[in-house]
A and B are shown apart, each in its own frame.
Chain A
């Protein structure tokens, strides 16, 4: 599909994402200005506070955004999943340049001018409003400009906590190996950043070239800024009202479903969502959450349910040493989740998504490889590519390479979804993918057999809060119905429909469910 054709098909969704993106950035920047400028002014009056406050703002900016989102999710009021968390993070990131430039701008006002103002009999407030702020405005706007451009970038990551925006296309594009999605997301974000930079550049020039522009044009400028802010606020208020009006269905019949940020998790979450909706339950979808966010959200009550794998729960969350007996793992996970988190584990869905050690089909045929042990001698000449998840977890690379005595010439850590592309394009020679990945067949990749049974079982299950089960009886019914209902082949096919044929997950699940509902 050409990019142009893609745009024609998806322009309405793209526009919605752009609008979400702009709204997130605008609200964050307006808030950051409302907090940052007064803070900056305060710090010019109280020197002693300057070091500590700027230090904290500095540290904020060095925290990687995904980590910051992770800290925020379990917090009450400001945390959770969605736009609110993203906004808190965006505001925290935007504060430093705004505070710093407010201080620099005000301190940069010529001492003789400030002294003249005081000597004329201006009060501190008059000096600030009539002299310091107008003269510092150019520098302050520069700070806002820097903060805005950064915010446009960081907002793409906000998609990981379900805040929407152009990051949705970028993450989806990475996952589905779809350049059109990537391009549409990244290009739009880049254009937004350029546009914001350009517009604020105009504002900045106005303030710094002519220390005071003609009176009339300044009030026009302020009017434009004011109207823009007002429009956003009105839209926000409208949305909040609309949501509260439409959400009046009692929470008793309402379930929030989450998913991890890969296709299979989204599909599994969508299956439950569809089936619940068919039974008249209101479903809120908080899909595509990155890292351990779904777990944090589930235990803090923001989510009621999300799909998980027993092995992941056993090793990554409960932090046990990997074991190989599927039934023991399931029993242990079920018991500990109930005791620790008040979370129930559904019956297995009928398939496993274990780590699949993959090589190119051509290499497998050339060297006649079937198992990982047979491939071990070649590792010395191979480069490996692993996702961040595999590199860091207990049952991932550290244990795996020890179990098979593997020593690669190079190990690269990259996005999981990119490892498939890296393998087929000969950037790396071995990767750890997912056994249900649809692209294994279409890209001619070969899965080596785990002949030493190193990887623990990864049975797909749903994790669901016990209070949600008690509140919504339909949940139990749906989960029972899904026990052993999905085979590995089913899952590969569903994955391929989305990743390979680029179809909408919702549509794919509707079709697959057909009469099963």
Chain B
């Protein structure tokens, strides 16, 4: 592979497998995948299919037991894990905010770990809260438990963006929200990712979310990546697993027509 291609691909999985010593079946086997700069890749699959594991291999919360994961041209096992993680934004369900930190301190966490000046952190926090639609005057000094689920999720996204990382990892970020809040946050996030030109890997079991946000969709099943396709290709896929997902959409549409 030439340098230009490597530079174009921000994250690459080469024959990656991951297994635990006390389990006979591997959690991931022989995974190959590339994520281009500026692209949003959605990993779609049921619980236990290995999609969250795939995500954790990128910021080295886990290390592959076979093959290698390359981030910005360097294998994760060659990265200093601390430096690697500070270049990757990470959003989990409910935001994973620290309950004993104010929203301001939560959002400013990575910049303060990187040793930014306090004034610079403050202005960055203000900017980000505005970006995710949380009025800084009201929310900076509040604690996570004083916010609604949707607001916490916004704060979680703001925290992930704080140090302007080239890559975002999102693990079912909208899973715990009610359908209306989820829909509006999904739309806003789509706009935001396009506007900021961030590369993102998003994990979900919601096929609508995958079609809405993904430039490409990777379908996972029992530790294997079945296919990686654009939303249009995916809608016309004849893969039985993909059809099963699409049938759930048809069901909903039919239910609407019958009424």
Contacts and interface: CB of A to CB of B under 8 A. Distances in A.
Query: Is B truly associated with A?
Result: yes
A427 interface: no
Interface in A97-136: 112-113, 115-123, 126, 130-131, 134-135
Given A118-B61, A120-B109, A112 B92 contact: yes
B100 A119 contact: no
A211 B85 contact: no
B110 A120 contact: yes
B90 interface: yes
B85 A118 contact: yes
Nearest to B163: A121
Nearest to B87: A121
A119 B59 contact: yes
Contacts of B92: 112, 115-116, 119
A211 B96 contact: no
A120 B85 contact: yes
Nearest to A112: B96
Contact of B143 (A130, A131, A212): A212
B93 A112 contact: yes
B59 A123 contact: no
B101 interface: yes
A212 B102 CA distance: 9
Interface string B107-144: 00110010000000000000000000000000000010
B86 interface: yes
Contacts, number: 61
B82 interface: yes
B175 to A, nearest CB: 12
Contact of A121 (B86, B98, B102): B86
Contact of A116 (B96, B102, B113): B96
B4 interface: no
Given A121-B110, A211-B99, A115 B85 contact: no
Nearest to B114: A121
B211 to A, nearest CB: 27
B1 interface: no
B244 interface: no
A121 B59 CA distance: 9
A362 B101 CA distance: 77
A134 B98 CA distance: 10
Q: Contact size class for B?
A: 20 to 34
A212 B100 contact: yes
Among A112, A120, A135, find the residue whose CB has the most chain B CB atoms closer than 10 A.
A120
Contacts of B169: 119
Interface residues of A, number: 19
Contact of B83 (A115, A121, A130, A134): A121
Interface string B195-215: 000000000000000000000
Nearest to A117: B98
A107 B86 CA distance: 25
A111 B47 CA distance: 18
Contact of B99 (A119, A120, A123, A135): A135
B85 A134 contact: no
Given A123-B82, A211-B143, A115 B113 contact: no
Interface in A168-212: 210-212
Nearest to A213: B100
A104 to B, nearest CB: 18
A119 B110 contact: no
A265 to B, nearest CB: 57
B90 A135 contact: no
B113 A126 contact: yes
A211 B105 CA distance: 14
Contacts of A211: 99-100, 143, 145
Interface string B69-96: 0000000000000111110101011101
Contact of B90 (A119, A131, A212): A119
A141 to B, nearest CB: 14
Contacts of A117: 98
B93 A131 contact: no
Contacts of B83: 121
Contacts of A210: 143
A113 B98 contact: yes
Contacts of A115: 61, 92, 96
Interface in B49-65: 59, 61
Contacts of A130: 98
A113 B99 contact: yes
A119 B61 contact: yes
A225 to B, nearest CB: 19
Given A118-B85, A120-B109, A121-B110, A134 B100 contact: yes
Contacts of A122: 82, 113
Contacts of B109: 120
A358 to B, nearest CB: 66
Contacts of A120: 85-86, 90, 109-110, 113, 159
Contacts of B102: 212
B100 A116 contact: no
Contacts of B98: 113, 116-117, 130-131, 135
A197 B100 CA distance: 25
Nearest to A118: B61
A16 B113 CA distance: 51
Contacts of B100: 131, 134-135, 211-212
Contacts of B86: 120-121
A126 B86 CA distance: 13
A113 B194 CA distance: 28
A121 B113 contact: yes
Interface of B: 59, 61, 82-86, 88, 90, 92-94, 96-102, 109-110, 113, 143, 145, 159, 169
Given A116-B96, A119-B92, A121-B86, 9 more contacts: A112-B92, A113-B99, A115-B92, A115-B96, A116-B90, A118-B85, A120-B113, A122-B82, A212-B99
Closest 3 CB pairs of A and B: A116-B96, A121-B86, A121-B85
24 contacts: A112-B93, A116-B96, A116-B97, A117-B98, A118-B61, A119-B88, A119-B169, A120-B110, A120-B113, A120-B159, A121-B82, A121-B84, A121-B86, A126-B113, A131-B98, A131-B100, A135-B98, A210-B143, A211-B99, A211-B100, A212-B99, A212-B101, A212-B102, A212-B143
